[in-house]
């Protein structure tokens, strides 16, 4: 009986380790956004992006602290947080979705793979369904994910005052760059 219990414990531990090895995370992913408007170009960087990927199910999540975006000019950063994204009311942006073609990606084999990602992007208290393309580069037990896509500020009820309407683009380019590592590394 003790032997059977010991075998079950070993199998359970092995399965638990295998299941945990299917999850990859980062706490220092990068998001860069760029607004190319007629009178001004604005860009900001955030290097504190949290993300997790379950390579078995394809579940994929992001969480971004809005106040962590850094701008070239302090006044831009202040306006971004206070007037546009209202960080005091909506401190985070998030994405909850799936890699829909996860079965086509061999996370055990070095290479670069196309990824189709779909889910819900929540920004400024508004949630929109999105579907975007990206890449996963698998190398040395890590997953390097990249994507570039565009969001319309109007879709997220971000109000741009008439006085500065030509300073901010209607669609903002968003670049995501994350390096995911195994959860229990």
Q: Between 17 and 39, where is the model more confident? A: 39
Identify the sign of the CA torsion 106, 21, 55, 134. Answer: negative
**pLDDT band (50, 70, 90) for residue 160:** confident
The SS3 assignment for 175 reads: strand
- Integer Cα distance of 139 and 107 in angstroms: 9
Residue 18: what pLDDT?
44
Residue 6: what pLDDT?
41
Mean pLDDT value across the chain = 89
- Integer Cα distance of 99 and 182 in angstroms: 17
Please report the domains of the chain, with CATH numbers, ordered by start residue: 24-182 (2.40.128.110)
Q: How far is CA 167 from the centre of its chain?
A: 26
Instruction: Please say if the pLDDT value at position 100 is more than 60.
Output: yes
**pLDDT band (50, 70, 90) for residue 185:** low
pLDDT digits (tens, 9 = 90+) for 45-61: 999 999 999 999 999 99
């Amino acid at each position: 009986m003790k032997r059977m219990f010991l075998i079950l414990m070993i199998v359970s531990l092995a399965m638990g380790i295998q299941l945990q090895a299917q999850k990859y995370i980062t706490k220092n992913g990068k998001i860069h956004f760029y607004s190319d408007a007629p009178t001004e170009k604005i860009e900001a960087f955030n290097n504190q992006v949290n993300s997790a990927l379950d390579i078995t199910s394809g579940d994929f999540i992001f969480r971004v602290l809005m106040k962590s975006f850094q701008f070239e000019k302090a006044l831009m950063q202040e306006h971004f947080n206070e007037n546009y994204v209202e960080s005091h009311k909506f401190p985070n942006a998030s994405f909850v979705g799936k890699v829909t073609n996860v079965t086509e990606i061999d996370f055990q084999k070095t290479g670069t793979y196309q990824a189709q990602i779909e889910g819900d992007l929540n920004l400024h208290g508004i949630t929109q369904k999105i579907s975007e393309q990206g890449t996963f580069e698998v190398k040395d037990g890590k997953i390097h994910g990249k994507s570039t896509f565009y969001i319309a500020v109007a879709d997220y009820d971000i109000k741009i005052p008439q006085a500065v309407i030509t300073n901010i683009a209607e669609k903002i380019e968003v670049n995501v760059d994350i390096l995911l590592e195994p959860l229990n590394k």
